[in-house]
């Protein structure tokens, strides 16, 4: 007898536990303030002004894709800062693009004290063929991509400075 009641309860349980809900109210809390701003450019400075790489036509451009959580990215920044100084008179623009929030980038910049041109990347890494950070892309004066480096490097080495100076 007990077995029959047990089987009946087990069979009826799915029907008792599943009932159709006629209406549901969902409350969503916003954790960030809403903004009407929609990114229209691939890059923006930390004040929210749009930047495009074509803005630098006639200059050689180094774009380093990085993140605040990326240890190799942070480790190569002092060398990149030195390389930027060494190439100051060589018509180079160094840009450090992160897809993180402007607030996070500013906080990182303030806490680390690097003298680098940090910008916000509004694109998708995959569309830039970036699957790991850091990734650095070099553009010539015509705006054509001519070099790409994946991973952290010794940017202020004589060999690297020579390679960067050779870009026309």
- Compute the average pLDDT of residues 80-93: 96
Q: pLDDT confidence of 67, banded at 50, 70, 90?
A: very high
Question: Greater confidence, 157 or 24?
Answer: 157
Which of 38-42, 137-141, 149-153 is predicted with the least confidence, judged by mean pLDDT? Answer: 38-42
Interatomic CA distance for residues 135 and 124, integer angstroms:
13
Q: Do the strands 92-98 and 60-65 form a parallel or antiparallel pair, or are they unpaired? A: parallel
The pLDDT tens digits of the residues spanning 128-145 come to 999 999 999 999 999 999
Interatomic CA distance for residues 120 and 23, integer angstroms:
42
Q: Give me the pLDDT at residue 59, please.
A: 96
- Compute the average pLDDT of residues 88-101: 96
Q: Where in the chain are the domains?
A: 43-48+58-165
Contact call for residues 135 and 104 (beta carbons, < 8 A):
no
CATH architecture of 43-48+58-165: 3-Layer(aba) Sandwich (3.40)
Sign of CA dihedral 155, 156, 160, 163: positive
Q: pLDDT confidence of 41, banded at 50, 70, 90?
A: confident
- Compute the average pLDDT of residues 56-65: 96
> Per the omega criterion (within 30 degrees of 0), is the bond before 140 cis?
no
pLDDT at 27 over 90: no
The residues, any chain, with a CB within 8 Å of residue 149's CB and separated by 6 or more, are 135, 136, 138
């Amino acid at each position: 007898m007990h077995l029959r009641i047990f089987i009946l309860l087990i069979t009826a349980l799915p029907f008792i536990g599943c009932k159709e809900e006629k209406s549901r109210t969902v409350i969503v809390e916003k954790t960030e303030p809403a903004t009407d701003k929609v990114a229209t450019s691939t890059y923006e400075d930390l004040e929210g002004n749009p930047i495009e790489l074509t803005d630098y036509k006639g200059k050689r451009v180094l774009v380093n894709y990085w993140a605040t959580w990326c240890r190799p990215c942070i480790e190569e920044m002092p060398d990149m800062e030195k390389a930027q100084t060494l190439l100051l008179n060589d018509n180079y623009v160094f840009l450090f693009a992160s897809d993180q929030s402007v607030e996070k980038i500013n906080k990182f910049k303030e806490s680390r004290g690097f003298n680098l041109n940090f910008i916000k990347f509004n694109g998708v890494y995959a569309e830039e063929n970036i699957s790991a950070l850091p990734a650095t892309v070099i553009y010539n004066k015509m705006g054509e991509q001519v070099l790409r480096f994946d991973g952290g490097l010794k940017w202020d080495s004589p060999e690297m400075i020579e390679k960067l100076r050779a870009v026309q």
